[in-house]
Amino acid sequence: MARKLLLIDANSLIHRAFHALPHLSTADGQPTNAAFGLAQMLLALLEEQAPDEAVMVFDAPGPTFRHEMYDQYKANRPEMDEELVSQFPIIRRLVQAMGLVALERAGYEADDVIGALAARAGSEGYEIVIVTGDRDLLQLLDGGVQVLITTRGTKQVIAYDVEKFTEQYGIAPDQLADMKAFAGDTSDNIPGIAGIGEKTAAGLLSEYGTVEAVFEHADDIPGTVRSKLAGNEQDALLWKRLARIECEVPLEQEADDLAWRGLDAEALRKLLAELEFSSLLKRLPRSEAPSTEGAVAAADPDSLAAICDKARQGDTIIVVPTEHGGAAALALAAGTDIAISLILPPASAEDARQAGLFADEDQDNPIPEALVEILTDPDIAISGCRLKRLDHLLRGHELAACNLAFDAEIASYLLAPQRSDHGIGLWAAQYLGWELPESDAADAYGMPAWQARGCIEALATAQLQSRLRRDLKQQGMLELFADVEMPLVPLLAKMERAGIGVDLERLQAAGRELSGMMEQLSARIFELAGEEFNLDSPKQVGEVLFERLELPKGRKTKTGWSTAAGVLDDLAKEHEIVALILEYREYAKLRSTYVDGLEREIDPATGLVHTSFEQTVTATGRLSSRSPNLQNIPVRTEWGRQIRSCFCSGVAGYSLICADYSQIELRILAHLSQDPTLLDAFANHEDIHTYTATLIFDCERDEVNYQMRSAAKTVNYAVLYGMGPRALADALDMSVQDAKEFIENYHKRVPKVQEFLSATLEQARQTGYVSTIMGRRRPVPDLDAANARARGYAERAATNTPMQGSAADIVKLAMIELDAALQADFPEADMLLQVHDEIVLRAPAGIVPDLAVVVREVMESAYALSVPLTVDVSVGENWRDVQPLHE
């Protein structure tokens, strides 16, 4: 079988990746979209082609022999984008880690080097595959050469052989340069001969074969074409020389060994992790025997005793919970030498089938006593990953971990909040070159892979903990980590277990009402359309609106006309059917998300739902929740409020208490900007939106009506979130000029705010990040991005994060202090939810007045600002109908 040579046109693929993918960057601001796209393509290529030899051929810097022949060659091409230039060092490392030879030759283009290599390999009987986005290389096609042309994006290619080329172009591959001599090539700034296109050129070449032969027979060519050729022979020969690939390139000795030796998995794993390409890590081939610096083993009495003894000596233990198929285990380590996996017995005494190591059905606590002592000792710090899950597992055995001190995933979140993957595996790949076994693999290290994975995570935590702590300290976030984020872990676990009640009958009634309204809307929509169709199918909706009813068309997608909300919003004011479809969609979402979705999440035994709070998701530091998401229940619409009315305490005799910070982000803006006008307004307990209305409308307080206050409120938050005049105009349904004047009036009256926002943006440009009042950092690497959308998003993030992130910090601190107050004085009360600036609790009705006083005091004193923090406390039987509880 012939050996296969893979020739890759590096610059062509790099440019395609750069322009096909949106702006991407690492947390520290390094652009990466070209590198990511190239990595995708190369991994797929090498897997599909499995070459014996492979080479990445680059364009050498500087002019080539073609520029000496014609100084306007490629003169129309713009300078390379700086974002792309900055990625070439990364790309060179990527090529090396993929085991590819990199070649270039001064004075020649990559096409020429590829041509020379193809000619040499062809003479030796190789099978040759060329990969490029440049169709110039199609002229190299012959019986032993295939050319893969990248087309859309980074994944689609068209495979060309001689037959396909001839069918498409009507000439032979070796006539392509001749065709360009006549028809020109705008991409290379080759003019060709005026008035001759590809069709005419193909006809001439079909008849005569080459440029030279055409001019030899010029007298035989009919009039108009002959006149266009007249006097252009020398130019045509020059254009052919420019277009023809030069296969006589002197190659250096490095071109003698092009063998592909496979991926350097360890180097590639580190590089992909460094670039935060976590999705590509999964595509790397698994090592047959992954290497770690410590041993991995199943637990036995001796190894467990040794780890417990070492934990006592060092006052720390590393614990990583892992679960698979209903079973759970703890990976345990007390250093970097060994990690063991201990299968947990079932929490329920009814099921003793999984009562693994040391389990005794007669024991009150089936977890080994030596380990219980370690985990419940307040003087022994517990480090690891997923410590909130550990808290839940131990509580299932009526144990409480006393000192959850270091969660590597939370440390990762603080250090790189823009990452989507905060697993220790990414850090282990980047700094240690380790790979974690897939949880669903059969086995690894002589044990089930899911247990082995936990052990390697424990060893990685042992290796990297000091580094992560050092980085947190260097960035000024160690205190935030230790005093806010880590104490929050057991509190969030406790809130998840507490759950909040849902009135199932009321929820189902709301669902029936929504269904009835959807049926009425459907009937009217079908009447207007003149036919019935699937309202839940964007494709069918698009066909009805834009083809049958011939409404003004928007953009078309792969599956049909776009019916996204933005498209339909523009049509809704003029076409009743569009407005009705939008209304139908609103009801459908309410029913599916908040009625059907909530009903699925209710624990049938207790009537409670137990959301999961996510601590490592948002870039601002806010918490999020899932299963179900209780942080986006609508509050401003009547239907949203009706859904809220379904939430109750879930415990007979208990009420809900809702404590909500009033305008906390605007108060933080006043504190950070030190604008005297805002400081005075908050110090005097004025309604800030009414006050702002007096600024932007230039009127007295008693002249402010509801509409003016509402507009002022929008302006206040427009300033916070970097909303421009156009967006504000849309929000307030006014002209862009009026919106611009609103914003200008605001800044004229509170000039320190604009100064603060501008200073924040400038500091972010210099440092690459913004900070909250507690030192939380948010990288904003795209402030100088060439991509306008990415740059605009970064500017808005830079200006609003100090307020939004600081609010998140204060709320978290308040939660921790409030939890301590509950434990001390109101143990029967539970904290249930945290929704942005609001904390929801459950307590016996009899203690509500006294508890409300404490809640308000604790929250208002959680952090000292230059203006007072105020908290509105409401009480009621359900989340909608809570009533203000005044002091």
Q: Which of 350, 345, 337 is nearest to 371 (CA)?
A: 345
Amino acid (one-letter) located at 698: D
Question: CA 811: distance to chain centroid?
Answer: 25
Instruction: For residues 320 and 464, give the distance between their C-alpha atoms in angstroms, rounded to a whole number.
Output: 14
Q: 650-680 b/e with 16+ CB inside 10 Å = b? A: bbeebbbbbbbbbbbbbbbbbbbbebebbbe
Phi then psi for residue 355, to 5 deg, are: -75, 75
What is the average pLDDT score of the chain? 90
- Long-range contacts of the stretch 519-528 (C-beta < 8 A, 24+): 521/580, 521/583, 521/584, 521/587, 522/584, 524/580, 525/577, 525/580, 525/581, 525/584, 528/576, 528/577, 528/580
Q: Provide the pLDDT confidence category of residue 353 given band limits of 50, 70 and 90.
A: very low
- Residue corresponding to tokens 């090539």: 185
| Statement: residue 351 has pLDDT above 50 | no
What pLDDT is stored for residue 253 in this prediction?
Answer: 84
Residue 73 near residue 130, CB atoms below 8 Å: no
Give 822-859 pLDDT, tens digit per residue: 999 999 999 999 998 999 999 999 999 999 999 999 99
**In 685-750, which ranges are continuous DSSP H helix?**
688-697, 706-720, 725-732, 736-749
| Statement: residue 269 has pLDDT above 80 | yes
Provide the token pair at 168. Answer: 């498409």
Residue 802 near residue 668, CB atoms below 8 Å: yes
Lowest mean pLDDT among 25-29, 261-265, 506-510, 744-748: 25-29
Instruction: For residues 54 and 99, give the distance between their C-alpha atoms in angstroms, rounded to a whole number.
Output: 9
Phi then psi for residue 312, to 5 deg, are: -65, -40
What pLDDT is stored for residue 632 in this prediction?
Answer: 82
Lowest mean pLDDT among 457-471, 596-610, 725-739: 725-739
Rounded to whole angstroms, what are the CA distances from 859 to 103, 275, 819, 853, 854? 64, 41, 11, 10, 8
What pLDDT is stored for residue 287 in this prediction?
Answer: 62
**Is residue 790 classed as helix, strand or coil in its secondary structure?**
helix
What pLDDT is stored for residue 440 in this prediction?
Answer: 80
Q: Provide the pLDDT confidence category of residue 727 given band limits of 50, 70 and 90.
A: confident
- In the 8-state DSSP scheme, what is residue 444? E
Residue 689 near residue 828, CB atoms below 8 Å: no
437 versus 468: the higher-pLDDT residue is 468
Instruction: For residues 742 and 729, give the distance between their C-alpha atoms in angstroms, rounded to a whole number.
Output: 10
Lowest mean pLDDT among 45-59, 360-374, 442-456, 676-690: 360-374
Give 119-160 pLDDT, tens digit per residue: 999 999 999 999 999 899 999 999 899 999 987 655 788 999
- Long-range contacts of the stretch 632-640 (C-beta < 8 A, 24+): 633/594, 633/835, 634/590, 639/514, 639/586, 639/587, 639/590, 640/590
**How many CB atoms sit inside 10 A of residue 640's CB?**
16
Classify residue 291 as exposed, middle or buried by CB count within 10 Å of its CB (0-12, 13-18, 19+): exposed
What pLDDT is stored for residue 394 in this prediction?
Answer: 95
Residue 681 near residue 669, CB atoms below 8 Å: no
Mean pLDDT of 311-323: 96
Phi then psi for residue 657, to 5 deg, are: -120, 125
Q: 596-632 b/e with 16+ CB inside 10 Å = b? A: eebbeebeeeebbbbbebbbbebbbbbbbbeebebbe
Q: Which of 328, 273, 221, 255 is nearest to 93 (CA)?
A: 273
Peptide bond into 868 cis (omega under 30): no
Instruction: For residues 390 and 405, give the distance between their C-alpha atoms in angstroms, rounded to a whole number.
Output: 12
Instruction: For residues 794 and 760, give the distance between their C-alpha atoms in angstroms, rounded to a whole number.
Output: 12
| Statement: residue 558 has pLDDT above 70 | no
What pLDDT is stored for residue 154 in this prediction?
Answer: 59
Provide the token pair at 716. Answer: 């206040």
- Long-range contacts of the stretch 473-477 (C-beta < 8 A, 24+): 475/414, 475/415, 475/775, 475/777, 476/771, 476/775, 476/777, 477/414, 477/415, 477/775, 477/776, 477/777
Residue 332 near residue 317, CB atoms below 8 Å: yes
Instruction: For residues 222 and 199, give the distance between their C-alpha atoms in angstroms, rounded to a whole number.
Output: 15
Amino acid (one-letter) located at 677: T
Where does 827-867 show beta strands of DSSP type E? 830-835, 838-844
Phi then psi for residue 50, to 5 deg, are: 45, 60
Mean pLDDT of 567-595: 88
The residues that bridge with 158 in the sheet, in sequence order, are 149
Cβ within 8 Å of residue 803, ≥6 positions away: 665, 666, 668, 669, 672, 720
**In 481-619, which ranges are continuous DSSP H helix?**
486-498, 504-529, 538-543, 565-572, 576-589, 597-601
What pLDDT is stored for residue 734 in this prediction?
Answer: 84
Cβ within 8 Å of residue 334, ≥6 positions away: 307, 308, 310, 311, 314, 316, 317, 318
Question: CA 174: distance to chain centroid?
Answer: 46
Give 199-228 pLDDT, tens digit per residue: 888 888 888 899 898 888 888 888 888 888
Question: For 596, what's the count of Cα atoms within 13 Å in the CB-facing half-sphere?
Answer: 10
| Statement: residue 331 has pLDDT above 50 | yes
Q: Which of 744, 749, 737 is nearest to 695 (CA)?
A: 749
Angle between helices 706-720 and 788-825 (to 10 degrees): 100
Residues recorded for the chain: 887
Q: Provide the pLDDT confidence category of residue 347 given band limits of 50, 70 and 90.
A: confident
Amino acid (one-letter) located at 399: L
- Residue corresponding to tokens 């022999």: 65
| Statement: residue 723 has pLDDT above 90 | no
Question: For 686, what's the count of Cα atoms within 13 Å in the CB-facing half-sphere?
Answer: 19
Q: Provide the pLDDT confidence category of residue 348 given band limits of 50, 70 and 90.
A: low
The residues that bridge with 381 in the sheet, in sequence order, are 316
Give 662-717 pLDDT, tens digit per residue: 999 999 999 999 999 999 999 999 888 998 888 888 888 889 998 888 888 888 88
**Is residue 57 classed as helix, strand or coil in its secondary structure?**
strand
Cβ within 8 Å of residue 884, ≥6 positions away: 872, 873, 874
What pLDDT is stored for residue 878 in this prediction?
Answer: 95
Instruction: For residues 464 and 313, give the distance between their C-alpha atoms in angstroms, rounded to a whole number.
Output: 20
**How many CB atoms sit inside 10 A of residue 527's CB?**
11
Q: Which of 45, 40, 48 is nearest to 21 (CA)?
A: 40
Model pTM?
0.81
Q: Provide the pLDDT confidence category of residue 360 given band limits of 50, 70 and 90.
A: very low
Q: Which of 867, 500, 755 is nearest to 647 (CA)?
A: 500
What pLDDT is stored for residue 419 in this prediction?
Answer: 85
Instruction: For residues 503 and 589, give the distance between their C-alpha atoms in angstroms, rounded to a whole number.
Output: 20
The rounded percent of the chain whose pLDDT value lies above 70 is: 96
Q: Provide the pLDDT confidence category of residue 391 given band limits of 50, 70 and 90.
A: very high
Give 482-533 pLDDT, tens digit per residue: 999 999 999 999 999 999 999 999 999 999 999 999 999 999 999 999 999 9
Residue 96 near residue 140, CB atoms below 8 Å: no
| Statement: residue 1 has pLDDT above 80 | no
Give 71-129 pLDDT, tens digit per residue: 888 888 888 888 899 999 999 999 999 999 999 999 999 999 999 999 999 999 999 99
Residue 780 near residue 770, CB atoms below 8 Å: yes
What pLDDT is stored for residue 887 in this prediction?
Answer: 63
